[in-house]
Structure 1
Amino acid sequence: MAFTLRPAEPGDSAFITDMLVEAGDWGHTGATSPERVARILADVKAARYVTGWQRPGDIGVVAADEDGAPIGACWSRLFTPEEPAYGFVAADVPELAIGVVRPWRGKGIGRTLLRELLDRAHAAGHARISLGVDLDNPARRLYEAEGFITVDTRPTAVTMVRSL
């Protein structure tokens, strides 16, 4: 199954929001619905990943299928101590989020998106990048395999960091 990567653009806001829903509600097997989107965005910390996309400093990559339809996205942005997201470690460390459309999972798209975003974050001058992930989310194994280390553990999730 062939796919291509392209930089995320301001017009990708709705798709990136859908990918946030897939990431935040990763165990759900149904379609992305307005109700699911509203439930995820009602969480202020979760909404911070996508609100106002694409602001200065945001970095993103979109995977598209052979027809150009988006099938996954990985993006990062900076947060502040006053308005952190789930994987916040410092104001100068961008935090990433990633989502892949369910039928495309397990085909290497997430790993490819992640590696591309890491390269772009490094090229933008960042020394580290962070993320938050549920303890039982299978994506955690991907992050560990790609060099992320756990720096904080909460009852149901961890914060992980990787040097760039």
Structure 2
Amino acid sequence: MTSLTIRPAQVFDAAFAAPLIQDTIGKIGLELTGTRDDTDAAHVIAEFFALRGNRLSFTHTLIAEREGRPLGLAVAYPGDLAHALDEPFRAHRVSLGLPPGVDSEGVPGELYLDTLAVTEAARGQGLGGQLLEAVAERARATGLPHVGLLVEDGNPAARLYARQGFRVTGWRDLAGSRYAHMTLDVTQ
């Protein structure tokens, strides 16, 4: 099997990334975009993906690909910027006549992993673990001591995170669901 390449995303990755992001974040994506179904949410996410200065921008995304074919992605940004990166989504919601209510997820001192997603056909091949390693390397390179993420209570992905060294450090309620806040120390 050809080796995996992990590269920074480009604007042209929006058509691949947006539906995969929405499929992964579900209710949170509907809340961010002010939409009622996954197709509409993915359309709005694609528009935001192509722009800078928001949480789901291509500038915060890594793409995993094999032979030029994208298979997965990781969206991660400094937690210190979470509130500012959510402001465009708040403004979007207000433009739709909705309350601006978007809960920022990242916290200061961590590189916040907003989304980790692998296409269905590529699951079980270790891509998620390789993307997590790339995110940890990005945290180290930017001087952040932790990678943090939220995983919905009962989500089987929590096992992958635990195998990679993440540990539960707290709980949050978002979009009507309970999430474990997990962190990985990358200074060791």
Contact 1:22 1:100 in 2 (8 A): no
Contact 1:149 1:162 in 2 (8 A): yes
Find out whether 1:159 has 2:178 as its counterpart. Answer: no
Which has the larger Rg?
Answer: 2
Q: How far apart, in 2, do the equivalents of 1:5 and 1:77 lie?
A: 20
1:93-134 CA-partner distances (Å, limit 9, x unpaired) = 221121000111111111111112211221221111110111
Matches within 5 A, 1:47-58: 49-50=55-56, 52-54=57-59, 58=60
Q: Which structure would you say has the larger RCO, counting Cα contacts within 8 Å and 6 or more residues apart?
A: 1
Equivalent residue of 1:94, what SS? strand
Quote the residue 1:22 is aligned against. 23
Amino acid aligned to 1:62: I
Amino acid aligned to 1:38: D
Q: How far apart, in 2, do the equivalents of 1:151 and 1:41 lie?
A: 34
Contact 2:110 2:139 in 1 (8 A): no
Q: How far apart, in 2, do the equivalents of 1:125 and 1:105 lie?
A: 31
Contact 2:76 2:112 in 1 (8 A): yes
Q: Structure 2 vs 1, CA of residues 40 and 161 (structure 1 numbering), >3 Å: closer, same or farther?
A: farther
- Report the RMSD for the aligned CA atoms in angstroms: 2.8
Quote the residue 2:31 is aligned against. none
Normalised by the size of structure 2, how large is the TM-score?
0.65
Normalised by the size of structure 1, how large is the TM-score?
0.73
**Consecutive unaligned residues in structure 2, runs of 5 or more:** 27-36, 87-102
Offset of residue 13 of structure 1: 3.6
Aligned-pair identity in percent equals 24
In the comparison of the two structures, how many residue pairs are matched? Answer: 145
Contact 1:24 1:40 in 2 (8 A): no
Q: Structure 2 vs 1, CA of residues 135 and 61 (structure 1 numbering), >3 Å: closer, same or farther?
A: same
**Consecutive unaligned residues in structure 1, runs of 5 or more:** 26-34
Offset of residue 80 of structure 1: 3.5
Quote the residue 2:33 is aligned against. none
Q: How far apart, in 1, do the equivalents of 2:181 and 2:4 lie?
A: 29
Bigger helix share: 2
Contact 2:19 2:42 in 1 (8 A): no
